[in-house]
Amino acid sequence: MSEEVKSLNFIEHIIEEDLTKGYKKDELRFRFPPEPNGYLHIGHASSICLNFGLGLRYNAPVNLRFDDTNPAKEEKEYVDAIKRDVEWLGFQWDTECYASDYFQQLYDWAIQLIKEGKAYVDSQTSEQIASQKGTPTEPGKESPYRNRSVEENMTLFEGMKNGDFKEGEHVLRAKINMASSNMLMRDPVMYRILHKPHHRTNTDWCIYPMYDWTHGESDYIEQVSHSLCTLEFLPHRELYDWFLDQLVSTNKLRPKQREFARRNLSHTVVSKRKLLQLVESGVVSGWDDPRMPTISGLRRRGYTPESIRNFADTIGIAKRENVVDVSLLEFHVRDHLNKIAPRVMAVLDPLKVVITNYEEGAEEWLDAENNPEDEAAGSRKVPFSREIYIEQEDFREEANRKFFRLKLGGEVRLKNGYIIKAESCTKDEDGNVVEVQCTYDPKSKSGSGTEESLRKVKGTLHWVSIPHAITAEVRLYDRLFSEANPDGNKEKDFMEFVNPDSLQKVTGYLEPSLQDVKVGDVFQFQRLGYFNVDKDSSTQNLVFNRTVGLRDTWAKLEDKN
C-alpha cells in the first residue's frame, strides 16, 4: 500500500485529491487524443502510457479520440497506423471516437453562442485580425464587425456552413475580451472555411472547428473527467474553461484540463511535422524506417512493446520539459531482449580460419544453448568444419597481453566448440591478413566433460562454419542525427544535423539455423548485439536489422553521475 502511494505521479495526486472532493471513482474517464496527421512517436508513448496507465490504475475507461478537425493534413492512413500502434503497445481503448462525429453538436452549440451574443462573424482577412491582436503587454483592438446583430451573424454563419463563401472570407469568433492579458482570450477564432473534403465527413462540411473550440467540448461530450495534455496548452486552459462555462449543464461532469511536460529524446526529433519532413525529403525510407523514433519504426527495428512501456514508466511524467538520453531507451530494449532473444552466431566482417588438423570434408554438429537467461529456450545444433569465419577484428598477428582474442601463438575458445591456436597467417599484396591457419585441441570440446573441455582460456570467439553458412543482408544503424539536440539550435535547421552515415548495409554469414526465420523474430548475434528480421526479408533474401549493440552505454553514463 505505502509503495503504491509513493509511486503516485503528480497527475495521480490531482486525481486522488479530486476523489476526496466529490468526484466518484466510477466517474473517472480518460482519453488519448492524437491528431491523425502523422504516425505516433516515442513522445506519444509517454502520453499513451500515462492515460492508459490511469485507466488501469483506476479501472476507468480510456477513449481513443481522433482530433480530426483539419482535413488539409489528416488521412485515414494515419488513423489506421495510430490504432495499430496503440494496440501493439498493449493497450485497449474503451471507445474509438472522432471529433468529426461531433461536428453537428459543435455547430449547434456555436449557434447557441451566437444567439447569446457570445460569438460573431468577422469578415476581415486573417492578416487584419492578426494585426489587431495586440501584444502581451498591449491590449488588442476590437474588430469593426464585433457588434454585428445576432440576425446578421446567424445569416452569415449559415452562409458559411452552406458554402456560400470562399475560404478566408469570414470566420466565427468567440466574443470574449480583446484586452485580456491572455492573448488566447482575445476573441479566438472558432470556425474557418475550408473547402476541403474530410476523410470521414467527405464534403458534408466546409467550415471546420478550431482545436480550442473542439477539444474541451469533445471531452465534455465523452464525459472525460481528466483531460491531460502537454504544457504548451497551459495558456489554453482559460479558454478551455470559458467555452465549457458557456455550455456545461449542472447534472453533467465537467472535464478538467491538466498539463504535463512533453518528452523529448536525444539525437532525434519528436514532432510529426518534422518526421513528415524526413519522410518527404527521402532522408528515411518511410514513417517506419528503423531509424525513425516512431512507434512503427521502433517496432520494425526490433523494439518490444514491453521495452517501450518500461522506458515510459521509468522516465515517468514531469512538470518541466527536458531531453531524455536515447541510451536510456536502448537500455530498456537491451534489458528485455536479453531475457527473450535466442542466441545465435553470425559473422559480419569475415576472416577465414583453416583448422589444419581437422579432417578435410568432415563436419560435426555441436550443442549450443539458445538462451542462458532462459532454460526453457532449449538448445540447437551448430555445424563445425575445417573452415570457419571469425571477425576480422578478432585476430591480430601480434598484440599485447590485454588482447584476449586470437593472435599468433595464442589460444581462444570457439563458442560452443573447441580451443584453437593460431599458427600462421597468409596476407594479400597490401599486407592484409586474408587467412589464418590454426590447430585445434580435439579433447577440448565444450560440454564434453574432459579435463581439456574445462580448460580456461581467456577469450571466447563467435564463428560460423564456412560451408554451412547462409548469407543475409544486415543493416547497421547509427543515430539519425549527429547532434544530441538537433531541434535546439536557433541558427540551424534540424535537417542540417542529419547524420549521413546512419545506415550501413553489410553481408552477414549466419549459422544455418537462421534459414527459416520469420519477419519480426529477434535474436542476439553473440558478441555483436540484438538483431531482428526486417519486413524486407524473404527466404531467398534474408534481411536483418541491428536493434541495438550489446554495450551498455547507459550504465556507463549512470556510473559517472
Q: Give the count of residues interacting with Mg ion (CB under 5 A).
A: 1
Nearer CB in complex with Mg ion: 16/75: 75
Please enumerate, as own/partner, the contacts of 138-146 that have beta carbons within 8 Å and a separation of 24 or more: 139/178, 139/179, 140/178, 140/179, 140/183, 140/186, 140/187, 141/178, 142/178, 142/187, 143/173, 143/187, 145/120, 145/121, 146/120, 146/122, 146/175, 146/187
User: Out of Mg ion, ligand ATP, none, which partner does residue 229 contact, by CB within 5 to 8 A per kind?
Assistant: ligand ATP
Closest residue to bound ligand ATP by CB: 43
Q: Which part of the chain contacts Mg ion (CB under 5 A), choosing from 29-37, 38-46, 317-325, 498-506?
A: 29-37
Q: Which segments of 132-228 does DSSP mark as H helices, in order?
A: 150-161, 211-222
Kindly list the catalytic residues: 35, 262, 272
Q: How far apart are CA 356 and CA 347, in angstroms?
A: 21
Nearest approach, Cβ of 524 to ligand ATP (angstroms)? 31
Nearest approach, Cβ of 531 to Mg ion (angstroms)? 35
User: Out of Mg ion, ligand ATP, none, which partner does residue 290 contact, by CB within 5 to 8 A per kind?
Assistant: none
- The CA-CA-CA angle for residues 198, 175, 219, to 5°, reads 50
Nearest approach, Cβ of 322 to ligand ATP (angstroms)? 11
DSSP state of 499: -
Percentages of the chain per state (helix, strand, coil), in multiples of 5: 35, 25, 40
E-assigned strand segments in 200-320: 207-209, 226-230, 256-260, 263-265
Nearer CB in complex with ligand ATP: 258/421: 258
The length of the chain in residues reads 561
Cα distance between the two ends of the chain:
31
Nearest to 94 by CA among 68, 56, 67: 56
Taking CB under 5 A as the rule, does residue 67 contact Mg ion?
Answer: no
Nearer CB in complex with ligand ATP: 280/359: 280
Nearest approach, Cβ of 516 to Mg ion (angstroms)? 43
Q: How far apart are CA 101 and CA 246, in angstroms?
A: 21
Nearer CB in complex with Mg ion: 257/416: 257
Which residues sit opposite 194 in a β-bridge? none
Nearest approach, Cβ of 273 to Mg ion (angstroms)? 8
Nearer CB in complex with ligand ATP: 67/411: 67
Contact 43, 263 (CB under 8 A): yes
Nearer CB in complex with ligand ATP: 273/492: 273
Subset of 300-329 contacting Mg ion (CB under 5 A): none
User: Out of Mg ion, ligand ATP, none, which partner does residue 47 contact, by CB within 5 to 8 A per kind?
Assistant: ligand ATP
Q: Which part of the chain contacts Mg ion (CB under 5 A), choosing from 28-36, 105-113, 150-158, 536-544?
A: 28-36
Nearer CB in complex with Mg ion: 273/535: 273
**Hey, what's the cell of 132?**
489587431
The residues binding ligand ATP (CB under 6 A) are 33-35, 43-44, 46-47, 67, 229-230, 262-263, 270-273
User: Out of Mg ion, ligand ATP, none, which partner does residue 33 contact, by CB within 5 to 8 A per kind?
Assistant: ligand ATP
Closest residue to bound Mg ion by CB: 35
DSSP character string of 122-159: E-S-HHHHHHTS--SSS-----TTTT--HHHHHHHHHH
Identify the residue among 12, 29, 35, 414 touching Mg ion (CB under 5 A): 35
E-assigned strand segments in 239-345: 256-260, 263-265, 322-324, 343-344
Nearest approach, Cβ of 500 to ligand ATP (angstroms)? 25
Beta strand pairing call for 30-32 and 62-66: parallel
Which positions lie near Mg ion, rule CB under 5 A?
A: 35
